[in-house]
Structure 1
């Protein structure tokens, strides 16, 4: 198979997708903004396309000689612009399949901005001349790592999640599903909904986490206003903080409460549970 381009290649899903494809013997090109970070994260991968979505010329260069693309666009006020420009660049380069990482809840016109953005990019892909596959991922287990510092230092983490039941998914399973969609036939035009094996509250997550790390970990529900202030202190822009909190509102409304069998159907194995993810992430979560 010809080289696959992975955008967002140093992120939680993108980096694991690079690993999955390389394990299958598929040549990979990574589209990255930071070559030093790429060198550290991607384990010696040498086919790197440097640039970012804001520079259309760099996106076009990254597409040269590419037949299949895993398109991952990070959350940004210009996400729709970046995603649609990448699809246009892929069409210009003769790309024959795009696998788009999207989210459960994606819908153009949604009052939740992240969902609206993903929905508009999905619509643009379906309206393009490139065969496309959409992967709508549930809430990633790796979002827990945003609270790693307070888990290590205080044995607590703070989120505006309430009692939301969330079928959260390990990013390695999203990556494995993406690799399958990129390398096997029968997916073009389809939308696959990816979830973990069970819907958990963050209180459940805290109890499972406690059992794995061997010390008490507590989840603390916080109001949206307190979450916004905490995210601002962590360095998020006001726009991004507001949209993250809005997503937690959607989670409380049940947007990610249902499970699917899609990971098993695409990969041939069951999705990983939260204990497996915590064991994999344990060095980041153990006390200082």
Structure 2
């Protein structure tokens, strides 16, 4: 049976892809920087390949004997370099399929850095000669976890989302869709746009968190400048803060404002809604948010 290499395997989506594939009995190799942390996240049965995108030799070694690659390349100033080098290494290693996690709005030349980077990597993948499937994810519900500290401390979270209507998706559904593609004969050249089941605002997110936590949680819309300043104060690098604000601007402009049936097509079930996520479907929520002395479960 073909081995799948999962990059970003200890992360929010990658760890779930590993679990989904293991549940299907598919051999998985997890590409990770910190084996100790990865073992704690993935469990002791996972095959780990220690490495870093910045070390091409470690990528080539991890690809040895691999037939399929799930590529997650996190936002980084060198994201395009890392992504394209890994695709080239996969082509040289004879990998038979690459499935890449991208984002809605990806387009080479976009003024939004995140969208431009993903778009450029997509273009390179399509020209690589390796059969490829692109998964463009909507804004993930788990992004709320970046505000866990203010929710715990002040029952509020502050974002420059305005009243943007967003087809938010649970990362578990992204992982399930990815595992479906990686474990079946999905034709190369396809692009799937993954969204949640409905278009919601962060006001609705706050309402669902309030219900789950048993106390009022308030969403506070803040101007871009205030959001950037807050991230800078929290130690977020200036380039990243700038691009997060730009991405929220795109959300306000409607980039994620419609739903698709791609999750249902790939997984044969409906995607999860925000209520399911808030009520404890996400282990990360249980870690990040607490109601009195009881974790959300």
Give the structure-2-normalised TM-score: 0.95
CA offset at residue 45 of structure 1? Answer: 3.5
Aligned to 2:290: 286
Is 2:19 the counterpart of 1:15?
no
CA offset at residue 187 of structure 1? Answer: 3.1
Q: Distance in 1 between matches of 2:25 and 2:245?
A: 40
Q: Distance in 2 between matches of 1:186 and 1:210?
A: 40
The answer to whether the 8 A contact 2:214-2:291 is kept is: no
The answer to whether the 8 A contact 1:132-1:188 is kept is: yes
CA offset at residue 160 of structure 1? Answer: 0.3
CA offset at residue 32 of structure 1? Answer: 0.5
CA offset at residue 127 of structure 1? Answer: 0.4
Aligned to 1:62: 62
| 2:88 alignment partner, SS class | helix
Aligned to 2:184: 184
| 1:179 alignment partner, SS class | helix
Q: Distance in 1 between matches of 2:150 and 2:255?
A: 27
Aligned to 1:44: 44
CA offset at residue 185 of structure 1? Answer: 1.3
Q: Distance in 1 between matches of 2:244 and 2:288?
A: 22
How many residue pairs get aligned? The number is 288
Aligned to 1:219: 219
CA offset at residue 80 of structure 1? Answer: 0.4
Q: Distance in 2 between matches of 1:44 and 1:225?
A: 44
Q: Distance in 2 between matches of 1:90 and 1:222?
A: 43
CA offset at residue 208 of structure 1? Answer: 1.5
List gaps (5 residues or longer) in structure 2.
Answer: 293-297
CA offset at residue 283 of structure 1? Answer: 4.7
| 1:134 alignment partner, SS class | strand
Q: Distance in 1 between matches of 2:193 and 2:187?
A: 12
Structure 2 matches for 1:25-44, cutoff 5 A?
25-44=25-44
CA offset at residue 238 of structure 1? Answer: 0.7
Q: Distance in 2 between matches of 1:248 and 1:187?
A: 33
Per-residue CA deviation, residues 254-277 of structure 1 (Å, 9 max, x unaligned), is: 000000011011001100111111
Q: Distance in 2 between matches of 1:71 and 1:105?
A: 18
Structure 2 matches for 1:175-254, cutoff 5 A?
175-254=175-254
The answer to whether the 8 A contact 1:153-1:287 is kept is: no
Per-residue CA deviation, residues 86-109 of structure 1 (Å, 9 max, x unaligned), is: 000001110000000000000000
Q: CA RMSD in A?
A: 1.0
Per-residue CA deviation, residues 77-132 of structure 1 (Å, 9 max, x unaligned), is: 10000000000000111000000000000000001010000000001000011000
Per-residue CA deviation, residues 163-194 of structure 1 (Å, 9 max, x unaligned), is: 00010100000000000111111331100000
Aligned to 1:122: 122
| 2:182 alignment partner, SS class | helix
| 1:12 alignment partner, SS class | coil
The answer to whether the 8 A contact 1:156-1:218 is kept is: yes
